[in-house]
Amino acid sequence: QRIVFSGIQPTGSPHLGNFLGALDNWAKLQQKDSVTYYSVVDLHAITLPQDPKVLRQSKHDMAAALLACGVDPKQSALFEQSKVRGHSELAWIFNCITPVGWLGRMTQWKSKIEKSHTSHAQALLETSTSAGTASLKMGLFDYPVLQAADILIYKATHVPIGDDQIQHLELCRDIATLFNNNTKSKYFTKPEAISPPSTKRIMSLRDPSAKMSKSDPSDFSRINLFDEPKVIQQKISKAMTDGHKGISFDTENRPGVSNLINIYAAVTNKSVDDALKDMNGLHNSQQLKQAVSDAVISRIHPIQSEYVKLQADPSYVQQVLKEGAAKAQVTADETMEQVYKLMGLD
Ligand code: ATP
Ligand code: MG
């Protein structure tokens, strides 16, 4: 039996990269012989400073977004991470066995600090300038351990993730092995990644060498799933391209144009080759941008209208989250009972 876990941070509005690289797949993974847990991971969100009011609202909006993207509460447990206490409890157990050196090798906390400069300047600037990590917050550094707990507490066998998360899943697998060795058990099994095809890795519209991100300070770097069609068109028309003639796919020399072609391929569910065939009649990046923007707008239109409906009924979304947490809690409690036993904490 397949057990699937995945999470998304309520750190802003979901963007096209989240949708194509993750959420679209979440919906597809809800199959008869699978158990699916999908979480709005608020404990991860607070590894960077958050305004409580904004966070509360973002959590709700993210849950509505997930439902709009096709997460079905009848099939999946959809819940807020902080409402199932086992996540933090298991993370603590893992903290006690995971070497600091393993976390030092992770790259994401470093890039998060760099990116955060402009938005959370005061709090974080010191971090990267002071020699080393004196003001680096423990939580940001430790984030992958909590992620391992998120996954292992449900004994997930499969984790759909974008490739920015591969390194963290590797760590999760290592932690599972470490726990088993330490407790002389075979309690945890190592989860597998489900990675989307490369066309579904979406880069920033402003800087095609960086991935599209919720936490990028520039809103023009991303297409939010709930941007109005006019805004989407505007953002794509301002996307960074190059001075080369014509349209060609060349991620090395033409990263901006290639990202746009990728976006087109991803939203139309085509290979890059087939996408390029569609573009046969187009001669310049202006025309390419028009085609991409039309394709994006029509692909996400149904999700947008579903989202509007869900936002009109906030109590429904809250009810779904409550029931999802109760469902997840049952499994989480079972795991924690076994873990405590294995550790002698029972
Ligand atoms: P943040 O900047 O706050 O980390 P994020 O955009 O990276 O936000 P996450 O909540 O960290 O989003 O990730 C949610 C899921 O979306 C993960 O599975 C991640 O791999 C995937 N994902 C994130 N960015 C992209 C992208 N640009 N292309 C494809 N998949 C992505
Ligand atoms: Mg991220």
Residues 54 and 307: beta-carbon distance below 8 Å: no
Q: Which of 112, 115, 190, 270 is catalytic?
A: 112
Tokens representing 196 are 């989307």
Q: Which of 137, 155, 200, 211 is catalytic?
A: 211
Domain boundaries, the chain: 2-195+314-343, 203-308
CA distance 282 to 213: 29
Look up the CATH number of domain 203-308: 1.10.240.10
Encode the chain (346 residues) as per-residue pLDDT tens digits. 899 999 999 998 899 999 999 999 999 999 989 999 999 999 999 999 999 999 999 999 999 999 999 999 999 999 999 999 999 999 999 999 999 999 988 887 877 777 665 444 444 444 444 445 678 889 999 999 999 999 999 999 999 988 789 999 999 999 999 999 999 999 999 999 998 887 789 999 999 999 999 988 999 999 999 999 999 999 999 999 999 999 999 999 999 999 999 999 999 999 999 999 999 999 999 999 999 999 999 999 999 999 999 999 999 999 999 999 999 999 999 999 999 999 999 9
74 is an active site residue: no
Residues 37 and 76: beta-carbon distance below 8 Å: yes
ipTM confidence score: 0.98
Q: Any residues with CB less than 8 A from the CB of 64 and at least 6 apart, and which?
A: 307, 310, 311, 317
Q: Quick one: pLDDT at residue 168?
A: 94
Residue nearest to atom 20 of ligand 1 (CA): 162
Q: Quick one: pLDDT at residue 132?
A: 54
Q: Which of 137, 155, 200, 214 is catalytic?
A: 214
CB burial readout 272-309, b (16+ within 10 A) else e: beebbeebeebeebeebbebbbbbbbebbeebeebbee
Look up the CATH number of domain 2-195+314-343: 3.40.50.620
Residues 12 and 209: beta-carbon distance below 8 Å: no
Four-point Cα dihedral 8, 12, 17, 19, nearest 10: 60
Residue nearest to atom 18 of ligand 1 (CA): 161
Atom of ligand 1 nearest to the CA of 8: 10
